[in-house]
Amino acid sequence: MERPRFHFTPEAGWLNDPNGFAYFDGEYHLFYQYEPDSLLGTGAGKHWGHAVSADLVGWTDLPVALAPDELGAIWSGCAVVDWRDTSGFFGGSPGLVALFTHWREGVQAQSLAHSADRGRTWTKYAGNPVIVAPELRVFRDPKVCWHAATGRWIMVVTIGQRARFYTSPNLRDWQEVGEFGQGYGSQSGVWECPDLFPLPVDGASGRERWVLLISVNGPGGSTMEYFVGDFDGWTFTSDNPAATVLPFDFGRDCYAAITWADLPPDDGRRLAIGWMSNWRYAHDLPTAPWRGALTLPRELVLQERPEGTRLIQRPVAELRELRGQTRQWPVQTIAPETALNPALTGEGVEIVVTFGNVAAREFGLKVRAGGGRGATVGYDTARQSVFIERGEEDNAGLARFGGRSEAPLALDGGQLTLHLFIDRCSIELFADGGAVVLTDLFFPADHGAIAPYCAAGTVELLALTTYDLAPPG
Ligand code: FRU
């Protein structure tokens, strides 16, 4: 499989979770779970790979930031800018502090490292690990933020199927203050890679809620959910009943997403990137000499909607820099045997499509279906759901890979608008203004046509605009 054109991949080696997102001195820092010399993704081999970007679109690879040491492998975590040198590592100046999980033979503990040279070199703290809990089997993935209301740092980590909170004045000494999650949300696997941050609620002036992101990994695969509620400096309280599950992404390949800390106040966005894979088959993906890619960067906002306060994801505006040729299609009727006129192809393409006058059981786009492979992005009229479907043998025989991921979605005034980013082996679908997102990998036989289809009946293609997406220059 050829390398994606506009998604981040390591030159060579294994990648899983994004880590250590920080924005400092004009650079977005991206760290990631990395095995430079292997495609195996073993627990003991994890390093932090590193790249920086000025615009979230073009990335410059930097040397490995953190390598395994006598305390173990370097598992997932975060980075913060210690503006006021609360840690005392930086002689009064600001600097970067990374907080991560040390993993050794299954035992997990939280540690830190610091960098006074814009993340180019890192020193592990001599007092590592800074938090231990040998009685816990899952105790990992620290995410830290500055909590202005109480004037101290807050850490969230996952412990089995719950999240635990710690506070610290200096990033080195931590005190346990609360837990959340017993019986809440999805309990279908272990909780991993939490993130906790406040967001203003769109359209409700002055209202702010806290969002808790959780990745859940179980026998059925890897999924993400979020909670909306309050955080008082000690613990999190959900606005919704315990049984409520709010999926972050309805597809199968968005996992371990976390957000950037410290964007300048005049920007103020909350931006996330996830790992574009799933532990169910991550080790088998047919790519070389790398294995693992990241999702596109997305802006997160909270919106007040009839069903409650919901997280909305939008592809970041910077992605427009990738746009090359723009094409628009005339309105046309799609019936089971009609072909799109003119045809649409492209190895990397952004699509905004609106269907209307729906008189069909199912309709949508067949994506690179040549040779009997590829994926279907569709709408099921009876189920009122939007979906991405990929076949098992369609995709290089990958076991546990086939099937359909779907999200409930009512037509809007009889119409359906989809915003898609299709790379060589991935589809990211944004619908309902970003309230519904599906991310799925697929491994087509070629980079052939993307064509509207319709099963049983007709549908009108009301608008189709496409942008060829070029790799960042
Ligand atoms: C999530 C995860 C984390 C862990 C990391 C190890 O994908 O399992 O919980 O820190 O991967 O690479």
Q: How far is CA 122 from CA 64, 259, 282, 441, in A?
A: 10, 21, 29, 34
Both tokens of 26, joined, read: 């004009």
Q: What is the rounded CA–CA span in Å between residue 158 and residue 110?
A: 11
Q: Whose CA is nearest to atom 12 of ligand 1?
A: 75
The tens digit of pLDDT for each residue in 234-279 reads: 999 999 999 999 999 999 999 999 999 889 889 989 999 999 999 9
Task: Say how far apart CA 287 and CA 265 lie, in whole Å.
Answer: 40
Q: Which residue among 35, 76, 100 has the greatest number of ligand 1 atoms within 8 angstroms of its CB, and so is best to mutate?
A: 76
- Give distance in angstroms: CA of 17 to centre of ligand 1: 6
Active-site pick, 17, 394, 432, 440: 17
Domain range 13-315, its CATH number among 2.115.10.20, 3.40.50.740, 3.30.70.120, 2.60.40.1120:
2.115.10.20
Give the Cα separation of 139 and 72 in Å (integer): 14
Separation of CA 75 and ligand 1 centre (Å): 6
What predicted TM-score, i.e. pTM, was given to this entire model? 0.97
Q: Where, residue-wise, is CATH 2.60.120.560 in the chain?
A: 321-469
Are 33 and 289 within 8 A, CB to CB? Answer: no
Which one is the CATH code of 321-469: 2.60.120.560, 3.40.50.720, 3.40.50.970, 1.10.287.3510?
2.60.120.560
Based on the residue annotation, tell me whether 17 is a catalytic residue of this protein: yes
Alpha carbon of 76 to ligand 1 centroid (Å): 6
- For the chain, residues classed under CATH 2.115.10.20 are 13-315
**One pLDDT digit (tens) per residue for the chain, 473 residues:** 689 999 999 999 999 999 999 999 999 999 999 999 999 999 899 999 999 999 999 999 999 999 999 999 999 999 999 999 999 999 999 999 999 999 999 999 999 999 999 999 999 999 999 999 999 999 999 999 999 999 999 999 999 999 999 999 999 999 999 999 999 999 999 999 999 999 999 866 789 999 999 999 998 899 999 999 999 999 999 999 999 999 999 999 999 999 998 898 899 899 999 999 999 999 999 999 999 999 999 999 999 999 999 999 999 999 999 999 999 999 999 999 888 988 998 899 999 999 999 999 999 999 988 766 789 999 999 999 999 998 765 455 666 788 899 999 999 999 999 999 999 999 999 999 999 999 999 988 888 899 999 998 999 999 999 999 988 77
The end-to-end CA distance of the chain, in Å, is 22
Query: Cα 30 vs. chain centroid, distance in angstroms?
Result: 13
Task: Residue count of the chain, please give it.
Answer: 473
As for ligand 1, residues whose beta carbon falls within 6 Å of it are: 16-17, 33, 46, 75-76, 101, 140-141, 192-193, 256
- Which atom of ligand 1 sits closest to the CA of residue 75? 10
Ligand 1: distance of its center to the CA of 293 in Å?
15
The best mutation among 75, 258, 279 to test binding of ligand 1, ranked by most ligand atoms within 8 Å of the C-beta, falls on 75
User: Which of 140, 159, 281, when mutated, tests ligand 1's pocket best, judged by the most ligand atoms within 8 Å of its CB?
Assistant: 140
Note the pLDDT tens digit of each residue in 170-195.
999 999 999 999 999 999 999 999 99
Q: How far is the CA of 130 from the centre of ligand 1 (A)?
A: 19
